[in-house]
Amino acid sequence: MESRYYFSIRYIPEHVDNELLAGRCISNMHGFLSHERNTQFKNSVGICFPLWNEQTVGNVITFVSTNESILTGLSYQPYFSTMMNENLFEISGIRIVPDDAKDVRFVFNKTIQKIFNGSKKRRIKRAMKRAEEFGHTFTPISVEVREFELFHEIPINSKSSGRDFVLHIQRQNPVEAEIGQGFNGYGFASNQLWRRTVPLILF
């Protein structure tokens, strides 16, 4: 099995918004991997929340990759260095994942977004516009709200588009390790295309 590496960040203050800080960490990772020098690695880094529970994603975020050098570069990003220098983050060194580590999968579930009114309204408007283009009358009908297993919302700010959005993340556990496939641009698996797993390792 191909070797994997990781480093972890722990949020030091006792009372913080774990999801907000996770979003900022992920945004910085996304920006780093989107840089022209690193685009070949943009699907190579995964996210793990080892202290995930029903209330929160936890105060630790772990970055995992088979590429040790890309993790080293990521760990030295200015945002991480600043937060560490201000005693807000504790950052581990780059370590190799033990062979006996258990794997989990953190999934970005886009389907969850569709249960929220903002998304529903946008989809209805698009459907109405398409119907008008073909000379049809479109009447929105009530759709039963789907129920989902536990998920957490992570706010993200896209530096490229300048817009804010939310990642709806679920945890699948336990699963067999899958190393051969990549992650999406924010370090997560998806319901279909991206199925890669991450090791469950504490800080």
Q: DSSP letter string over 121-178?
A: HHHHHHHHHHHHHTT--------PPPP----EEEEEE-TTT--EEEEEEEEEEEE---
Number of other residues whose CB lies within 10 A of the CB of residue 77:
15
51 is written with which tokens?
């202290």
Instruction: Name which residue leads in pLDDT, 179 or 143.
Output: 179
- The answer to whether the predicted template modeling score (pTM) of the entire model surpasses 0.85 is no
Listed by start position, the domains of the chain span 5-109+148-199
The average confidence (pLDDT) of the chain is 86
What is the spatial distance between Cα 202 and Cα 51, in angstroms, rounded to a whole number? Answer: 8
Whether residue 137 is predicted with pLDDT greater than 90 in this model: the reply is: no
Q: What is the 3-state secondary structure (H, E, C) of 34-102?
A: HCCCCHHHCCCCEEECCCCCCCCCCCEEEEEECCHHHHHHHHCCHHHHHHHHCCCEEECCCEECCCCCC
Q: What is the pLDDT of residue 192?
A: 76
Q: Could you read off the pLDDT of 45-95 as tens digits, one per residue?
A: 999 999 999 999 999 999 999 999 999 999 999 999 999 999 999 999 999
Using an 8 Å Cβ cutoff, are 16 and 77 in contact?
Answer: no
What is the spatial distance between Cα 34 and Cα 30, in angstroms, rounded to a whole number? Answer: 6
What is the spatial distance between Cα 156 and Cα 70, in angstroms, rounded to a whole number? Answer: 22
Q: What is the pLDDT of residue 138?
A: 53
Whether residue 167 is predicted with pLDDT greater than 80 in this model: the reply is: yes
Q: Could you read off the pLDDT of 153-166 as tens digits, one per residue?
A: 999 987 666 778 89
Q: What is the pLDDT of residue 144?
A: 45
Whether residue 34 is predicted with pLDDT greater than 70 in this model: the reply is: yes
Q: What is the pLDDT of residue 17?
A: 96
- Whose tokens are 């050098």? That residue is 69
126-135, 142-151, 152-161, 167-176 — most confident range: 167-176
State whether residue 106 is helix, strand or coil.
strand
* CATH architecture, domain 5-109+148-199: 2-Layer Sandwich (3.30)
